[in-house]
Amino acid sequence: MTARFVQSPLAAFAAALVVLFSTPSVAVAGDGNGGRISGIVEMGTAGATLQETMVTLLAVDESGASSTGEQTTTDGEFAFDAEPDPARRYLVRVRYQNIEYLSQPITLTPEAPEATRDLVVYETTREAPDLSIESSVVTAVGLDRAQAELTLIRQDTVRNPSDRVYIGSEDGVTLRTPAPDGVLEAGPLNELEKARLEGQVVANETPLRPGLTAVSSAYRVGYDRADDRYVLRVTAPLPTDRLVARIPQSFVRAVEPLEGAEPAADEELEGERLTVVERGGVREGEALLVEWRGLAGSVATNPLTEPLGAAIGAAVALALLLGAGGAAAWWRSRPDRQAGVDA
- Residues in Cβ contact with 226 at an 8 Å cutoff, skipping those fewer than 6 apart: none
Instruction: Report pLDDT for 34.
Output: 80
Instruction: Report pLDDT for 322.
Output: 36
User: How confident is the model over 114-155, as pLDDT tens digits?
Assistant: 999 999 999 999 999 999 999 999 999 899 998 999 999 999
Instruction: Give 137's strand partners.
Output: 155, 244
CATH architecture of 132-323: Sandwich (2.60)
What CATH number was assigned to the domain covering residues 9-122? 2.60.40.10
Average pLDDT score, the chain? 80
Q: For residues 17 and 259, what is the distance between their CA atoms, to the nearest angstrom?
A: 42
The mean per-residue pLDDT over the stretch 216-222 comes to 94
Q: Do you know the residue count of the chain?
A: 343
The mean per-residue pLDDT over the stretch 194-216 comes to 94
Question: Is the pLDDT confidence value at 158 over 60?
Answer: yes
CA triple 220-221-224, angle to 5 deg: 150
% of the chain at pLDDT higher than 90: 66
Counts for the chain of helices (H) and strands (E), in that order: 2, 23
Task: Characterize the bridge pairing of strands 272-282 and 262-269.
Answer: antiparallel
Q: For residues 39 and 45, what is the distance between their CA atoms, to the nearest angstrom?
A: 19
295, 223 in Cβ contact below 8 A? Answer: yes
202 to each of 135, 150, 183, 196, 250, how far by Cα in Å? 17, 17, 10, 5, 29
Question: Is the pLDDT confidence value at 85 over 70?
Answer: yes
- Residues in Cβ contact with 63 at an 8 Å cutoff, skipping those fewer than 6 apart: none
Question: Is the pLDDT confidence value at 273 over 80?
Answer: yes
Question: Is the pLDDT confidence value at 321 over 90?
Answer: no
Assign 33 a pLDDT band (cuts: 50, 70, 90): low
Question: Does 132-323 match 9-122 at the fold level?
Answer: yes
- pTM value? 0.78
SS3 311: helix
Instruction: Give 78's strand partners.
Output: 39
Phi first, then psi, for residue 218 (nearest 5°) are: -120, 145
User: How confident is the model over 73-84, as pLDDT tens digits?
Assistant: 889 999 999 999
Q: For residues 20 and 314, what is the distance between their CA atoms, to the nearest angstrom?
A: 11
Residue 141 amino acid letter: V
Phi first, then psi, for residue 105 (nearest 5°) are: -60, 150
For the chain, which residues make up each domain, given as ranges? 9-122, 132-323
